[in-house]
Chains A and B, each alone.
Chain A
Amino acid sequence: MTQLALIIDLNVCVGCHACVTSCKEWNTSGAAGFLSDDRPSGKDPTGTFLNRVQTFEIGTFPDTETVHFPKSCLHCEDPPCVPVCPTGASYKRPQDGIVLVDYDKCIGCKYCSWACPYGAREVDEHQKVMKKCTLCVDRIYDQTLPEAERKPACVLACPTSARLFGDVHNADSEVSIAIREHAGYQLMPEWGTRPANHYLPRRKTRIQIHADELERVDNPLRKERQLPRPDLDEPSLDDATSW
């Protein structure tokens, strides 16, 4: 069984919002209609977004670290938003695991948004239906696009390749390897929703240098200098010596 998902690498995300704007651009131009925007240049702008980037500061000054945190629907393997939908507008596709809303069936009761612990769903204030990330389902299967472009808009837009897209059920896929080898984790694991999207943590490259690596133990005088040349009549190894 296929489960498509996004892997978001917090180690390289720079918080540029390119995924946000490309998501909005693609999803406001599609067959499903526009994504609302109210007063975009006014005093109190608001609108519907399927992807947002938040920023957190970890630690206290001066030991702080900034984490940019892209946030969209996690396409849970056990999505709590789906069974609560009274109309069946909310569903999880069996063939690829994408959680979708049928905008023609949605009655806008907002119950699914209550049932999502991540706040991944947003009501469109003008179309009056629930909207959410579709993993660009209208793009990833489009045979008219070159194969390299059959990816979600956010993935294509990311300048640092912080977003990976693929099948997390295929153990050999790029995303599965990334989760396995770079400690990919899920959000709020305590609710058993089993999000398909994973996040890769901030990673620091550190080298461990022990004292005996700085100071040779076979040097009783604790003085570092170039070793004396062996006498010319001593046996030599061509591999180990320079003469």
Chain B
Amino acid sequence: MHPAFSVIFLTTLIGVGQGLFLALYTGELYAVVKVLPAQVDSRAFYGGGSLLALGLLAAGLLASLFHLGRPERGWRAAAQWRTSWLSREVIALPAFMASVLLYGAVHSLGWNPVLLTLGESIGVELSLLAGALAMLLALALFLCTGMIYAAIKFLQEWASPLTVINYLLLGAASGFTLATGFSFYTAPNLMRFYGIWAIVLTLAALLSRSASLWRNARLQYRSSLQTAIGVRHPHITQMAQGAMGGSFNTREFFHGRSSRFLHWVKWLFLILVFVVPVILLAGGLQTGRAPILLSAFLVQYIGLLAERWFFFAQARHPQNLYYQTV
């Protein structure tokens, strides 16, 4: 497939946004059950963090518009949620943004009454409920984004549960890495908590992404030129593709790079997404220096752009069988 930068930015940006929100909410949950100190300046940390997540989600949404031929009709995309994962994503993304806005507003405006008390000491605040809603929507959005790709059964590189798991873990890892840098400024006593989780999630993402790379390297393609044109002969050569110049079919479904380039991008993203951030996170936590933590996020995000490019480029569409000489 031809990797479109609009979709690369959409999926990576909303992944970070979702991950960052999950990080904020995890921190709050831990604080409620007294695993973490009930510490922080909730306005700066939860409110500011929600604003940052919203900014990332909005940037992703904006990027997605560049993928549409007719963005002015984009609102129509919510219509077919019964059958289309893309339609479900179009609903889940604004719903998630609204719930993050609510969560951030509850914290920023300080309008956070205790709704009920569990046991002796655990007070359930409004923000906890708003956050629970947003967390469910964040997970649903990961599912939708992943299933858009995993649901196309003949794109065999994508048609696997690993696709959904990768989107979830890569988004969560990058969000927690950003949360580590963010908490340095707004809630330093949480930095270590987020840093360790970021490392754990990055390593988990490395496992699942490696599993999908391993799987894709051993794929048996079900379609062949023989089934594509229905001629049973091992030796078929294409003499004409039906057009002298290029067509949509030769542009949309081919990445146009050499297999050596793909090979390098694969190693590049494995290093930038997983190896370097883990080292930087560990170093940043040891030394307690913000630039190291922030660079961990930046390197990981740049790596994620390469990862997403590779994700698209690696998928081999069966229609390419009809275009043997691109």
Contact = CB atoms under 8 A, between A and B. Distances in A.
Interface of A: 15, 20, 39, 44-49, 52-60, 66-67, 69, 71, 80, 82-89, 105-111, 113-119, 122-123, 125, 127-129, 185-191, 199, 201-202
A110 B237 CA distance: 29
Given A52-B243, A57-B236, A117 B319 contact: yes
B236 A56 contact: yes
A3 B229 CA distance: 22
A86 B87 contact: yes
Interface in B223-265: 223, 227-231, 233, 235-249, 252-253
Looking at chain A's contact residues, the main secondary structure is loop
Contact of A84 (B69, B83, B244): B83
Contacts of B240: 15, 53-55
B124 interface: no
B227 A188 contact: yes
B275 interface: no
B70 A129 contact: yes
B73 interface: yes
Interface of B: 1, 67-71, 73-74, 76-80, 83-87, 90, 148, 151-155, 222-223, 227-231, 233, 235-249, 252-253, 317-320, 322-323
A58 B235 contact: yes
B227 A84 contact: no
A67 B74 CA distance: 43
A111 B86 contact: yes
B77 A87 contact: yes
Nearest to B154: A117
Contacts, number: 176
Given A54-B322, A118-B319, A84 B236 contact: no
Nearest to A66: B239
Contacts of A111: 84, 86, 148
A82 B80 CA distance: 10
B86 A109 contact: yes
A227 B98 CA distance: 102
A60 B243 contact: no
B73 to A, nearest CB: 5
A85 B235 contact: no
A125 B229 CA distance: 28
A132 to B, nearest CB: 11
A54 B233 contact: no
Nearest to B4: A110
A58 B79 contact: no
A110 B3 CA distance: 13
A87 B73 contact: yes
Contacts of B229: 56, 67, 69, 187, 199
A208 B28 CA distance: 84
Contacts of A118: 318-319, 322
Nearest to B64: A109
Nearest to B71: A107
B70 A116 contact: no
A202 B246 CA distance: 29
A44 B235 contact: no
A54 B317 contact: no
A115 B85 CA distance: 12
Given A59-B235, A114-B1, A49 B69 contact: no
A30 B190 CA distance: 65
A50 to B, nearest CB: 11
Contact of B322 (A82, A119, A128): A119
- Among A116, A188, A191: residue with most chain B CB under 10 A: A188
Nearest to B237: A57
A105 B76 contact: yes
Contact of A191 (B84, B153, B247): B153
Closest 10 CB pairs of A and B: A108-B69, A119-B319, A128-B69, A52-B242, A86-B87, A83-B83, A86-B77, A55-B240, A87-B76, A122-B248
